[in-house]
Amino acid sequence: MPTYNKLVRDKIPQIIETTRKKFITKILNDDDYIKHLKQKTYEELDEYCSAQSNEEAVEELADLLEVILALANYHGFSMEEVEKVRKEKADKRGGFQEKILLIEVEDGKQDES
């Protein structure tokens, strides 16, 4: 039997059950839950980065968004609250729409030679 040891969506056990396969699950405590959510974030981001088409990319972005929703809920915030903070930051600092790559910034020290 393959071992996964990874956080899965809530309906996955029922889906596996319909295949009549045997499986083992457990309910995580809060410390393990946040640890596995953070790991899931990396997993989903990696899958997005590996996407070969726009269709695959949107699927992986939806998965990543689902993990972000779970993280927000864990920390006691709704997606509306996260969106409000995102918007405030975008208003103050901008977004990423203009594709700007910062190369270098002078450090302010005088040349002492």
- Report which residue type is found at 47: E
Summarize pLDDT for 52-91 with one digit per residue, the tens: 999 999 999 999 999 999 999 999 999 999 999 999 999 9
- Distance from chain centroid for Cα 97: 20
Cβ atoms of 71 and 37 closer than 8 Å: yes
User: Residue 66 domain-assigned?
Assistant: yes
The verdict on residue 102 lying in a domain is no
pTM for the model stands at 0.85
Range of the domain at 34: 28-85
The DSSP letter of residue 103 is: -
- Helical ranges in the chain per DSSP H: 12-18, 30-49, 54-74, 79-93
| Residue at 54 is within a domain | yes
What tens digit of pLDDT does each residue of 2-22 get?
899 999 999 999 999 999 999
- Contact between 95 and 87 (Cβ < 8 Å): no
